[in-house]
Amino acid sequence: MADGERTKGHTKSGIRSCREQLSTGPQEHTVLFGFDGIVDTVREMIAERESRDSVSRIRELDSLGTRITDSVASETSVAIEWLDCGTRTGGHVCHLSRTLGRWGLAPIMIGTFGTPMESEFESSFAEYTTYSIGEPGTTDAVEFDDGKLLLTEAGDYRDLDWKSLDERLGHNQLARLLEQADLFGMGYWSMIPALSEILYGLAEDVWPTLSDPPAHVVFDPADIRHLPDSRLVDGFDALQTLNRQVPVTLSANRGETEALIRSGGGSVTGDSMLDLATAARDILGVDRVVSHGARASAMAGEDDHALVETLHIEEPEIVTSSGDHFNAGVCLGLLEGFDAGATIALGNAVAGAFIRSGRSPTLPEVQTFLEEYGAQV
């Protein structure tokens, strides 16, 4: 069987399995997320202003790159107008909690929401249990049809380490919250440089004291390409240390997965997302690695793996935080005990429904998307 035919078969079986297993009723799980918090302003860049009220936008990242390289070649400045398309709370904690909370799960949120909590977080998460450990960051998220440009000013999460987490929250309080959770999610490594220190602390100081710990840890590194290899390799050891206490699932996009492989001394060959996820898992030494992309997503585990195509969205409403929505689907799949194919299909469906509508989908909307997804791939 050709690779394309094999992938198509895995995709159809994953979608079918997900549709059969997914309940659209309220999900009775408690989830804990830490440790960031960001205020996102979504923006679009203007290519040409035809009149006061009429503009055309820069639709592709490549077009923006051409403008910049042309300016460099001509030794001139780059001046680009942008539009404010709305403000919302962002980051790993907020996006995952918002999506899973909409499905009936009970989120517990630890993050940099402000002291006192800033109004954007208070209005969005008043019904959830929240613990603020500092001031939030801010991000201008510039949307393009083929990607995004994130311009970020860091919040107090930048200086977070194991000692300061004790000072701001308390290790004993963290242990009590972990006892309540079925799944614990952490992100982003790219914004919390000392996250590996926190991983060690969790594995060595907290997890051995828990009588009823979470069944899963989901770890999102985000774009770690600016971190030195030495810090990443230390993080690999920290992840392995925690993985000896609890199954760890690391989820990253294609570029992030490739960076992890190279930092660990591996080489990136071929286009297969499953090969990437498998290579990353071999280097990281965790239970599962998930790699997600625009065309396909994959999960590599010890006894279960899957490669599932995505459904192309012709006119995306938004792409910023689509990876977080994918991860929300993965979290629910893990909690519900789905196999790898169904879990990845669910992640793809949640992300696809979000990209198309611009808002976190309900579970009935995810099920509807799965029906279309299965018919078209």
Specify the CATH number for the domain of residue 256. Answer: 3.40.1190.20
Does residue 105 fall inside a structural domain?
A: yes
Token readout for 61 is 């990242």
- The mean of the pLDDT values for the chain is 94
- 247 lies in some domain: yes
Share of the chain above pLDDT 90, in %: 85
pLDDT in tens, 78-120: 999 999 998 899 999 999 999 999 999 999 999 999 999 999 9
Is the predicted pLDDT of residue 3 greater than 70, yes or no?
A: no
Q: Is residue 55 domain-resident? A: no
Q: Is residue 79, in this structure, part of any structural domain at all? A: no
Q: Is residue 362 part of a domain?
A: yes
Structural domain count, the chain:
1
Identify the weakest region by mean pLDDT among 52-66, 209-223, 277-291, 329-343: 52-66
Q: Judge whether 203 lies within some domain.
A: yes
Which domain, by its residues, includes 147? 3-44+87-376
Give a yes or no: residue 51 inside a domain.
Answer: no
pLDDT in tens, 24-64: 988 899 999 999 999 999 899 999 998 888 999 999 999 99
Given this model, what pLDDT does residue 270 score? 78
Which pLDDT score, from 0 to 100, does residue 215 have?
A: 98
Which of 140-154, 187-201, 302-316 has the weakest average pLDDT? 140-154
Q: Is residue 304 part of a domain?
A: yes
- pLDDT given for residue 2 in this prediction: 40
pLDDT tens per residue across span 144-155: 888 789 899 999
Q: Of all residues in the chain, what percent carry a pLDDT higher than 70?
A: 98
pLDDT at site 15? 98
- Residues 177-187: pLDDT tens digits? 999 999 999 99
pLDDT at 113: 98
